[in-house]
Amino acid sequence: MTDVIRAVGRRHRAARSRLLLLAVGIVTGVLTGCSSGPSSQNAEGAATTSSSGDRTCVSASEGPEVECQLKAGTYRTVGMRPNLRYTVPSPGWSSLNREVAPGNFHLFPPGGSMSGFEAGTTDDITIVTAVVPPGTCTGEPSPDFDHTFDGMVEFLTNNDHIVVSNRSDASVGGWDGTVMDIKFVKQDGCSDGIYSDLMIGVDPAHGAFGITPEQAGLRLFLLHNPTSDLPLALLIDDAANGGSDYGDGSDWYDAARSLIDTIIFAT
């Protein structure tokens, strides 16, 4: 399975994506739906409301990564570590919450999509619940930086392949940390594409995450997980020349932040 994951990661890099690896299963089908529990699927794709009043929308864990369409309202994830609640401000948003990937969660705004995400042309909000600094061209954790919150910040702020700006204290869902804007400067020099690696997802997350010259930039929240030394990463990816109905730069970041401000983590 590790060989399958690495091969998909290389393909994504060559396709200019965010270097995110969403699936860990073998591709076998196309079923996507919404769920009120860990194993039930609703083939019609209508959100199910739980006894708590929150909706859930779970994409099928087998088959291609297909987003689940959301209506305005409050949702909770299923099977993530940690789970979270969030409120969608308007119709047109979609999510990718797969129980087979308990550390990776994705939201696509109106005008964005999973297909655009794979091509690197859509805006998105991505949560990776445990990250560490990357090794150089390995797709594996770095042996040179501590696998801690401080180690992650040290790697990013001392990386001359990117420029970090507007760093400040931040809080999301009651978890404190830091936020920073990141732009691409130069590639890592790896043979599988033009990009700069930013982090590696580790259990319960997975995948290599980075930035390409085609992206306008990204805004990264690194948060202290109260139950782990490993930081949680929340990325707002900003595709160049549009990528959603919200436009570019501050317009998109402001819209994304309005949703992020509704997030509550469940430890």
pLDDT digits (tens, 9 = 90+) for 70-81: 999 999 999 999
d(C-alpha 174, C-alpha 265), whole Å:
8
| pLDDT for 66 | 87
47-100 pLDDT per residue, tens: 666 656 789 999 988 888 889 999 999 999 999 999 999 999 999 999 999 999
The reported pTM is 0.84
Question: CA 132 to CA 3: how far, in whole Å?
Answer: 20
Return the number of other C-beta atoms located less than 10 Å from residue 78's C-beta.
21
Contact of 141 with 133, CB cutoff 8 Å:
yes
Q: Region 187-202: what's the mean pLDDT?
A: 96
